[in-house]
């Protein structure tokens, strides 16, 4: 196990700033997830930690020691990519044993290590099979066992589950997380899938355009996004954003907090709710939930703002397509952002009462 520390790390490919100044620490035993859209620099960052890519600037430290100059093998990292390749002509045993043979481990010890790794991933009964005789999930586990067999101090995973079908992914996620907990190895996991990130990470590093946008627990990045990028990258559908020019603030709230007022009034005092007139355009059925697509209109708003409400299927919709009805958000579920920088601010520069919002009136009808 090790701590992994990045200090001012950059990687430029010509004019492309793939990684543009990253400071980050993965604590010993931590499961750290790098999350961000395609091209944001996740893989490049992981490859620099592995030693497959040299930083243009900055330091990479393992347990406080700078490793920039060390080749991958000397760093004792194990890496599994999305396109992990097993040797098709070799048995599962020989595939897992491959990295040990490369360092000429004695036979008895090698057998013990392979059996240990295979048992850990629940594939001990498959050791004599060839990769083509395995399911996708089993092949995935062979690749993970092969990476783990050398007892690395850091585990680096780049979208290792994306080749699996949805059902298998859920169980593989659960397995991988359980395994990481048991052995307590420092793990850095790259994904663009927020469900994976929220479900597996001890902490999530949200990246965009080569830079870290926020580091926090799943709950922190979801509930207290550092800026509008994080607010709208996480969540499905993403956070609603209302641009209030006169208030000088962007108001954000999650679709699951935007519910018919009569429903909210059961759990919240009137004074704790902020109400908007919601014009529903379309209702989408999603099994467990319903999404209501519509707009909030008001003289305070920059334009008709497209808004989504997410209602549990058991909740009455209250407003049909084409109708307008009062929808409300609990005051404490609101986020505020600076309209210029997009950064989160603790409070709006002008009190919400100036917009008539605090008294539960539609925007633009109250206050001065």
Task: Give CA–CA dist 101/118, Å, rounded.
Answer: 16
Site for ligand ATP in 95-114 (CB under 6 A): none
Are residues 62 and 2 in contact, defined by beta-carbon separation less than 8 angstroms?
A: yes
368 binds ligand ATP (CB under 6 A): no
330 binds ligand ATP (CB under 6 A): no
16 binds ligand ATP (CB under 6 A): yes
Of the residues 36, 99, 277, 363, which one makes contact with ligand ATP according to CB under 6 A: 36
Task: Give CA–CA dist 236/171, Å, rounded.
Answer: 21
Q: How near is the Cβ of 174 to ligand ATP at its closest, in Å?
A: 23
Task: Give CA–CA dist 98/244, Å, rounded.
Answer: 61
Q: Which of 185, 174, 224, 179 is nearest to 204 (CA)?
A: 224
Which residues neighbour 48 within 8 Å (Cβ) at sequence distance 6 or greater?
9, 11, 19, 54, 55, 60
Query: Among 12-20, 143-151, 195-203, 226-234, which window interacts with ligand ATP (CB under 6 A)?
Result: 12-20
Element (H, E) at 358: none
To 10 degrees, what angle do helices 107-120 and 136-148 make? 130
Query: Among 23-31, 41-49, 233-241, 290-298, which window interacts with ligand ATP (CB under 6 A)?
Result: 41-49
Of the residues 4, 43, 79, 363, which one makes contact with ligand ATP according to CB under 6 A: 43
Of the residues 113, 141, 146, 192, which one makes contact with ligand ATP according to CB under 6 A: 192
The neighbour count for residue 292, using CB atoms within 10 Å, is 26
Residue closer to ligand ATP by CB (options 16, 102) is: 16
40 binds ligand ATP (CB under 6 A): yes
228 binds ligand ATP (CB under 6 A): no
Q: How near is the Cβ of 136 to ligand ATP at its closest, in Å?
A: 20
Task: Give CA–CA dist 241/302, Å, rounded.
Answer: 11
Residue closer to ligand ATP by CB (options 128, 162) is: 162
Task: Give CA–CA dist 323/189, Å, rounded.
Answer: 45
Which alpha helices (DSSP H) does 76-214 contain, by range?
A: 92-102, 107-120, 136-148, 166-183, 194-200
Residue closer to ligand ATP by CB (options 169, 192) is: 192
Q: Which of 43, 29, 358 is nearest to 192 (CA)?
A: 43
39 binds ligand ATP (CB under 6 A): yes
Query: Among 10-18, 214-222, 278-286, 299-307, which window interacts with ligand ATP (CB under 6 A)?
Result: 10-18
| Cis bond before residue 237 (omega within 30° of 0) | yes
Residue closer to ligand ATP by CB (options 233, 278) is: 233
42 binds ligand ATP (CB under 6 A): yes
Element (H, E) at 356: none
Task: Give CA–CA dist 165/357, Å, rounded.
Answer: 46
Of the residues 5, 30, 35, 44, which one makes contact with ligand ATP according to CB under 6 A: 44
- Binding residue count for ligand ATP, defined by CB under 6 A: 12
Residue closer to ligand ATP by CB (options 207, 280) is: 207
Q: How near is the Cβ of 14 to ligand ATP at its closest, in Å?
A: 7
Would you tell me which residues interact with ligand ATP (CB under 6 A)?
13, 16, 18, 36, 38-44, 192
């Amino acid at each position: 196990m090790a701590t992994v520390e990045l200090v001012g790390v950059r990687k430029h490919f010509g004019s492309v700033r793939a990684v543009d100044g990253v400071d980050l620490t993965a604590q010993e035993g931590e499961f750290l997830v790098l999350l961000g859209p395609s091209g944001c620099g996740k893989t490049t960052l992981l490859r620099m930690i592995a030693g497959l890519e040299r930083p243009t600037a900055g330091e990479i430290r393992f347990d406080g020691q700078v490793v920039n100059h060390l080749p991958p093998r000397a760093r004792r990292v194990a890496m599994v990519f999305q396109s992990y390749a097993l040797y098709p002509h070799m048995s599962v045993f020989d595939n897992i044993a491959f990295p040990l043979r490369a360092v000429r481990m004695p036979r008895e010890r090698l057998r013990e290590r392979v059996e240990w790794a295979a048992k850990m991933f629940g594939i001990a009964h498959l050791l004599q099979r060839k990769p083509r005789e395995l399911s996708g999930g089993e092949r995935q586990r062979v690749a993970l066992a092969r990476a783990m067999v050398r007892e690395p101090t850091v585990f680096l995973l780049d979208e290792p589950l994306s080749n699996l079908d949805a059902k298998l992914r859920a169980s593989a996620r659960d397995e991988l997380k359980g395994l990481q907990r048991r052995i307590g190895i420092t793990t850095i996991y790259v994904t663009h899938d927020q469900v994976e990130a929220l479900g597996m990470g001890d902490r999530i590093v949200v990246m965009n355009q080569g830079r870290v946008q926020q580091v926090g627990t799943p709950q922190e990045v979801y509930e207290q996004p550092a800026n509008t990028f994080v607010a709208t990258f996480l969540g499905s559908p993403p956070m609603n954003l209302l641009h209030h020019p006169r208030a000088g603030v962007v108001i954000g709230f999650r679709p699951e907090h935007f519910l018919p007022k009569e429903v909210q009034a059961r759990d919240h005092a009137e004074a704790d709710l902020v109400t908007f007139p919601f014009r529903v355009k379309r209702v989408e059925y999603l099994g467990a939930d319903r999404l209501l697509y519509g707009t909030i209109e008001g003289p305070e708003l920059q334009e008709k703002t497209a808004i989504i409400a997410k209602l549990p299927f058991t909740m009455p919709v209250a407003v049909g397509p084409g109708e307008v009805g009062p929808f409300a958000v609990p005051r404490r579920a609101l986020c505020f952002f600076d309209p210029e920088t997009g950064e989160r601010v603790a409070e709006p520069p002008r009190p919400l009462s100036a917009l008539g919002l605090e008294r539960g009136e539609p925007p633009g009808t109250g206050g001065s």
